[in-house]
Structure 1
């Protein structure tokens, strides 16, 4: 609170402080306002009382900011300065350590490919993960149309001015806003009029170089940011390389502003995925198989404008074009090895003891098995070419009692996807190696030529109308009403290979006959290689929202909100939707999808609908420690989903289909407080959350020990109340910052997550070594099978960072992660491994592959957390405005 006489010559500074989002510290004052202020020089004004309000941009387009006292949900924000101080290399790492109700799952083992979870909803770069958070970059929705995924490697940290996490289904944001929206605003030459350069290096061969520079002449502002990151990775064969370039040009006048931004990204990310936990206990650096690599390219261009029609009315607009090219290669063991060993129609290669290469009982001639006669690995290749473009317009009308926003958006996407598979050998280091001799010796075409599994082209077009109004009938009471109408059309054209096993491609005459490389004309056309289908789906949704905020007294606000949201099925979900026409007598004969490397016919899926509720209080407790204020909040949240879309396994490794599961629920309580005391600053976040299935269902999964065999299928029964995988019940983030001098500060941070279930344990009933020597539907189960508990244990990780500022603009910093070298995991799934100890004379090779499939084990795979690591860096900052002032 300020209460003193001021002269008009100071009015510009006061106005600048409180006319902007406090998270960015960026003054936004028009030339008209400057001239009006200058014309009052020499006039002494009456006493003015100014109330400082923290403001946050909550609309995708510029032109409207909302006081935090008026917000009807628990909006969280991070400023550009906080981002820079954190020394985080990506958004997921930053949010995991600072934001309430946020956790991460690392299924890939790469820092740029982690799942971000917020209140039980996910934004992930992984196809097959249910997505529930929309992400906006300067007003452009960057959830990719192919699978609603978010590529975190496409967002440069040193170009971010602020980010805001808005819970619930705010109608100002578009599709996929089920659990919340993440709105990211970039820097420009007016908001960041300074030069910054930084280098960092240390553990795992990590090297990072960053550079940014922004300046303006009062009307034209220019900004550029470049980031180059590379490392060898802490696990075997896991290098990454990221190059990001962001540029912007801003033109300001008395009537508004026009901005043009460009983002160009080139990355090569290796994430060798989850590993059996018993393998991890022997060697923390171990990988299951490799390589698993994504090469991504992005070209993103965005033109935005804000025009001040009068003192109360603003018109904003944008148009954008976005091009994404991705190439991926994935490696795995070939789970069809037993059937291939016992194949029909190919010459019969026998081991020295007369058995087949697989010595399991599924073979016609069981025995020890032998290596080197047939391939035991499979390489999956995929290529995605995606183009997006769109435009949006937004009208803002602000008066003393109303803040009204209305707008329209149009977004369209075109997708071209292709995937193929090849045989390979698993080498001594678990790296897959192509071997064309299997084609020469046995006619296995997939050993020499990639087998095209699918070609998919598709498009989606969404048209939306939205509006929102915050009405303040009195100064302390604020009502917000809003709604959004979406109209989405999704089209598919799919050429899907019939589903033959890879080893069944053994007839070169038929395979290379161009007459057979076509779509089947009917069911009896057995010569055609592809089944081709078209899909054309229309989705509509109306999503209203209502909320209130009541300033009960100074520094105490009560609020509540209810909202509806929607997510339409993505192109790949419709391309890999369950085909119930192929389910006969409870036996599912569908081939399924090896996400993202195989698709099936594309039947209809319903859109997901959400209803979100939130209520809470927030405030400031004055004179807490040494007369310092204590900021706090307490929120209760609940989101109900219907027709939730999940990736459902079909019993073959990594294969399944997308299906409307039914109802799911996320609910919980989140609380936080922060304060300072002398040279100390501390904060504490706590969340209790429960994410559950609310509809009964059956899932085919032989890797879950509680499965029940019915008609040769291994069913797992999910019932209401079972918890969703990967979602811990308890989340804590705590931070303590110590600043003894203006030059030096250090921060100790703790992240704590309680235990969670792994994927595949959706019924929460998997038990380690649960089966005994009892016969279940004719199957004699190994008493030492089903390794692991099917859960991820809880953990707490401590991190430290320190910074020292020199007098000449240079700073030295250090970051130490996992201070106590805690062994932990953030993700996992139930699976099967062939890398098991051999017994009874079973053959193995240098990679540890067991050639008796009866000795393969069901186990718990985990995504291990990184060990202790330290990095050092040097940065340089130069404020052009301060330098000019000194020179003047």
Structure 2
């Protein structure tokens, strides 16, 4: 309770001292700089007329009729990168979300802005908390949930922030207020490991591009109170300082789903005529009630219902990044970066257990009534629980990672055979050490599904299943060497090519035995080639081919034995090898923009096909419900097309998009599953052409913003997502999770130059829908609401009901 009240006090103090949910570019000073920050590896920008790298710059502009794209080829991205090329020369789809688009969502979650603005993005709340969502792009996932096979690389200021142990992405650790822009980009192997479907690239603000002070407070439904503030200042032409602070408290609409978020970001910068350096740092301390999915029968009685409790997560991070850029000659620019990141996560997850009374009721067994359940001392556990108790276990984990890295790249823009040419070569080295620990405390569930611990901890038990404490040290070393070149064949035709060599070394050291010991090495060269052609001044054709690879994570390698499954992300049991995943992506499309009487019209239409070989899937154990392992499942394919249109004028902005995503298995497979259609051995048969679960095929998005007056603005957005198969139904035999539609609205009124009031309504029509679904073991616990057994195997992640929020913002 003391920690909870401390978090509330922090939010209240932050609300008084600081402020808002999002950034506000009106705080930019009028006499700023023509500096354009780079986005690793792509950012759409518009340099001021006559701009020259490294010299005094104008403030970043948000609406750009003729954009330029900056490609510093991550991870050596620095502010004002030299490797900038026109957007029309990028042979891939480019989706950029700026701070204005983030602000219009009124949300502290950056994923909400991506959901609205990027056609192929979809969001699902697998963990049951809106601050820790899964982001899915073209069927590839970036998730905070341990055990999710990841398919997207995420960068912040040029630093890859996929956590070392499971490549997870904790979106809650990124301070939304301090974000300058985000890009979702594809078709470039320079993004490094895990960019199977592309990369999400986050560029943060600094004191050169943001001037002024902004404070804001907001509150509303489900106990939400939040406050934040940002301040930026440029000192003369050479120095700049920026800082942002956010605090959020939310009780959540579900039982036990409280969230407390505290995060900070700061940047100190120096530049002169030929160089620029930034030291940025950040910290976050966030606690969540991660309530996860809930049986459908419980939701029918109460939309805020939960199943087994506690399910909590505590994320902490601290990081330092030093970036620099030097113009060595008029045509050569050298850029470098060094980073250090500390991450800690603690979780509690109450679950039904394989522990049960033996045939001799005074003893405990595991998996059946004859296999002993052992304690930490290796002695079979006696049974202290009353007859008729519903046993469970609280699976606790602790993950502590330290990651450090260096990167260096050089860019040359000398003409080649009299034609414009941009050549970039670079290298990066990242290393991390992770300490992972897990334990299981036995206890009993009450009629509210809350588990009461007994103080008895489970040791290694079961046959073939192993359950018990884990202590693992994992070391990752990632090295990359890359080169990219863009050559203008003519004024209309540009060709890009290059590649990256990746090597990954993963070492596992079991601290309690030898079962998890292992060393794994993965190497691969990934090529890229593509081109763009300007059909007219306003229409560009693009196309390209690229490859990317993902090395298995230490988490996956430690749980990859079908004969010894584990509680996913908790009890690691063995160290068999897994093959790396390789994606082969083709992409082509058209894009354009045109000035009309009604405003600026922008549009794009494109298609893609990405084929993964040796894809990795989390497989449910046929031996024991709730356990599983990771397995290479042959080839999979994700293909589709995207269409988007956007019209912007001074008073009105309207956008609409459609995306079709077809994700399928390409090989015949027999895998374990908790599907109700599993055979007597707990297996299902996947046939070529079966759809991959959890990926809706259709997404339609639309929205508008309208200036009723100079001071009063209104807007709204709509989202429709089609049905999808339940996770666990890889054989496509169960009925789908239904489609859903949700509508939101927002408004603001500028009282004067300083003060603004704003508000929003989420889910206007109070639609009750679920964003994700799977199956659960219906006989593990009874349905206490009616005293009978569960009959519906569906377990759902319910979306937030209608919610109202209002706030005030002050800009100085």
Same-fold status (TM-score > 0.5): yes
| CA 127–848 in structure 1, closer or farther in 2 if over 3 Å, else same | farther
Match of 1:455 in 2: 471
- Deviation, 1:343, is 3.8
Q: Give the aligned CA root-mean-square deviation in angstroms.
A: 2.7
**Given that residues 24 and 79 in structure 1 are in contact (C-alpha distance below 8 angstroms), is that contact kept between their aligned partners in structure 2?**
no
- Deviation, 1:65, is 2.2
SS of the equivalent of 2:614 reads strand
- The yes-or-no answer on 1:674 pairing with 2:646 is yes
C-alpha distance in structure 2 between counterparts of 1:278 and 1:66, whole Å: 55
- The yes-or-no answer on 1:822 pairing with 2:795 is no
- Deviation, 1:628, is 3.0
Offset from partner CA, 1:752-796 (integer Å, 9 cap, x none): 100001111111012xxxxxxxxxxxxxxxxxxxxxx3x210011
Match of 1:874 in 2: 808
**Given that residues 107 and 827 in structure 1 are in contact (C-alpha distance below 8 angstroms), is that contact kept between their aligned partners in structure 2?**
yes
Please list, as runs of the form range in 1=range in 2, the aligned pairs for 1:769-808 lying within 5 A after superposition.
Answer: 789=735, 791-808=736-753
- The yes-or-no answer on 1:389 pairing with 2:409 is no
SS of the equivalent of 1:172 reads helix
Where structure 2 has 5 or more consecutive residues not aligned to the other structure, the ranges are 1-29, 58-63, 370-384, 461-466
Offset from partner CA, 1:507-557 (integer Å, 9 cap, x none): xxxxxxxxxxx64xxxxxxxxxxx534211111000000010101111000
- Deviation, 1:58, is 5.5
Offset from partner CA, 1:681-725 (integer Å, 9 cap, x none): 210010011011111111222x4232222xxx1210011111111
**Given that residues 35 and 56 in structure 2 are in contact (C-alpha distance below 8 angstroms), is that contact kept between their aligned partners in structure 1?**
no
C-alpha distance in structure 1 between counterparts of 2:473 and 2:787, whole Å: 38
TM-score of the aligned structures, taking structure 1 as reference length: 0.79
C-alpha distance in structure 2 between counterparts of 1:444 and 1:468, whole Å: 53
- Deviation, 1:743, is 1.0
Match of 1:656 in 2: 628
C-alpha distance in structure 1 between counterparts of 2:95 and 2:283, whole Å: 28
| CA 813–666 in structure 1, closer or farther in 2 if over 3 Å, else same | same
**Given that residues 357 and 363 in structure 2 are in contact (C-alpha distance below 8 angstroms), is that contact kept between their aligned partners in structure 1?**
no
- Select 1:865's aligned residue among 796, 799, 809: 799
- Deviation, 1:51, is 9.5
| CA 158–677 in structure 1, closer or farther in 2 if over 3 Å, else same | closer
- The yes-or-no answer on 1:150 pairing with 2:197 is no
- The yes-or-no answer on 1:468 pairing with 2:487 is no
Offset from partner CA, 1:809-832 (integer Å, 9 cap, x none): 111110110000001110010112
- Deviation, 1:577, is 1.3
SS of the equivalent of 1:573 reads helix
- Deviation, 1:178, is 0.4
Match of 1:515 in 2: none
SS of the equivalent of 2:73 reads coil
Match of 2:300 in 1: 281
C-alpha distance in structure 2 between counterparts of 1:110 and 1:444, whole Å: 29
Where structure 1 has 5 or more consecutive residues not aligned to the other structure, the ranges are 1-11, 36-49, 350-355, 357-369, 496-517, 520-530, 580-589, 767-788, 839-845, 879-888
- Deviation, 1:291, is 1.4
| CA 247–323 in structure 1, closer or farther in 2 if over 3 Å, else same | same
Match of 1:752 in 2: 720
Aligned length: 739
C-alpha distance in structure 1 between counterparts of 2:787 and 2:399, whole Å: 32
**Given that residues 45 and 70 in structure 2 are in contact (C-alpha distance below 8 angstroms), is that contact kept between their aligned partners in structure 1?**
no
| CA 429–533 in structure 1, closer or farther in 2 if over 3 Å, else same | closer
SS of the equivalent of 1:832 reads coil
C-alpha distance in structure 1 between counterparts of 2:757 and 2:471, whole Å: 51
SS of the equivalent of 2:515 reads strand
Please list, as runs of the form range in 1=range in 2, the aligned pairs for 1:125-164 lying within 5 A after superposition.
Answer: 125-164=144-183
- Deviation, 1:627, is 4.5
Please list, as runs of the form range in 1=range in 2, the aligned pairs for 1:167-186 lying within 5 A after superposition.
Answer: 167-168=186-187, 170-186=188-204
**Given that residues 668 and 686 in structure 2 are in contact (C-alpha distance below 8 angstroms), is that contact kept between their aligned partners in structure 1?**
yes
Match of 1:88 in 2: 107
| CA 404–13 in structure 1, closer or farther in 2 if over 3 Å, else same | farther
C-alpha distance in structure 2 between counterparts of 1:31 and 1:219, whole Å: 14
Offset from partner CA, 1:615-658 (integer Å, 9 cap, x none): 000112443xx443421110010000000011111132321111
- Select 2:679's aligned residue among 693, 708, 731: 708
**Given that residues 178 and 567 in structure 1 are in contact (C-alpha distance below 8 angstroms), is that contact kept between their aligned partners in structure 2?**
yes
| CA 235–54 in structure 1, closer or farther in 2 if over 3 Å, else same | same
C-alpha distance in structure 2 between counterparts of 1:145 and 1:290, whole Å: 28
Please list, as runs of the form range in 1=range in 2, the aligned pairs for 1:172-251 lying within 5 A after superposition.
Answer: 172-217=190-235, 218-251=237-270
- Select 2:73's aligned residue among 59, 63, 77: 59
- Deviation, 1:346, is 2.8
C-alpha distance in structure 2 between counterparts of 1:475 and 1:621, whole Å: 19
Match of 1:602 in 2: 575
Match of 1:568 in 2: 551
Instruction: Please tell me whether Structure 1 or Structure 2 has the larger radius of gyration of its CA atoms.
Output: 1
Deviates more, 1:87-96 or 1:748-757: 87-96
| CA 292–13 in structure 1, closer or farther in 2 if over 3 Å, else same | closer
Offset from partner CA, 1:23-76 (integer Å, 9 cap, x none): 5678695698569xxxxxxxxxxxxxx994443446321312221111111100
**Given that residues 516 and 573 in structure 2 are in contact (C-alpha distance below 8 angstroms), is that contact kept between their aligned partners in structure 1?**
no
SS of the equivalent of 1:153 reads helix
C-alpha distance in structure 1 between counterparts of 2:766 and 2:412, whole Å: 54
C-alpha distance in structure 1 between counterparts of 2:32 and 2:352, whole Å: 65
Please list, as runs of the form range in 1=range in 2, the aligned pairs for 1:638-653 lying within 5 A after superposition.
Answer: 638-651=609-622, 652-653=624-625
| CA 141–290 in structure 1, closer or farther in 2 if over 3 Å, else same | same
SS of the equivalent of 1:734 reads strand
C-alpha distance in structure 2 between counterparts of 1:183 and 1:753, whole Å: 25
SS of the equivalent of 1:594 reads coil
- Deviation, 1:341, is 3.2
Match of 1:773 in 2: none
